[in-house]
Amino acid sequence: MDILLLNGPNLNMLGTREPAQYGTQTLEDIVARIGALATDAGLSIEHHQDNSEVGLIDKVHAASKNGTKYIIINPAAFTHTSIALRDAMLATGIAFTEVHLSNVYKREAFRQQSYFSDIAEGVISGFGAQGYEFALDAAITYIKEH
Ligand code: DQA
């Protein structure tokens, strides 16, 4: 697998979850679009959404064994809480982009703290579902250059 797309807790509720904050596209819509764009670029992509920390950590561990070249991750609320998921990203050393649908810097102070931003290649926040497309573009460039 070239790219692993990971989505954290409550993102399975996209479409109906706080649409003013997160938009009206469902996760299935987003994954279908990103999957099609990755295929057009000649890259394979796997998607996994998990509401639990352990499920996300296990996927990151698996990525280090199956040749994954890049991770696009929206850790959702775990962004602000999970040293364990941060450590998993560090343990694998796979380059990644942190994505948020909303602009976390316009929101509550606790959302402005991330356990991932300082170890990510880059962060995309506030562009809704389009943020995943920007992240995919960055992943394609990264893979071509490495
Ligand atoms: C989010 C922002 C987080 O603060 C929040 O907990 C989420 C979604 C976003 O995509 O904007 O669940 O990661």
pLDDT in tens, 63-72: 999 999 999 9
Kindly give the number of the ligand 1 atom that is closest to the alpha carbon of 9: 12
**What pLDDT score was predicted for residue 97?**
99
Q: From ligand 1's centre to the CA of 98, what distance in Å?
A: 11
What is the separation, in whole angstroms, between the first and last Cα of the chain? 15
pTM exceeding the 0.95 threshold for the entire prediction: yes
Q: Which residues of the chain fall short of a pLDDT of 70?
A: none
Burial class (CB in 10 A: 0-12, 13-18, 19+), 97: buried
**What pLDDT score was predicted for residue 13?**
98
**What pLDDT score was predicted for residue 119?**
98
Kindly give the number of the ligand 1 atom that is closest to the alpha carbon of 80: 4
Q: Residues near ligand 1 with C-beta < 6 Å? A: 10, 74, 76-77, 79, 100-102, 104, 111
pLDDT per residue over 32-64, tens digit each?
999 999 999 999 999 999 999 999 999 999 999
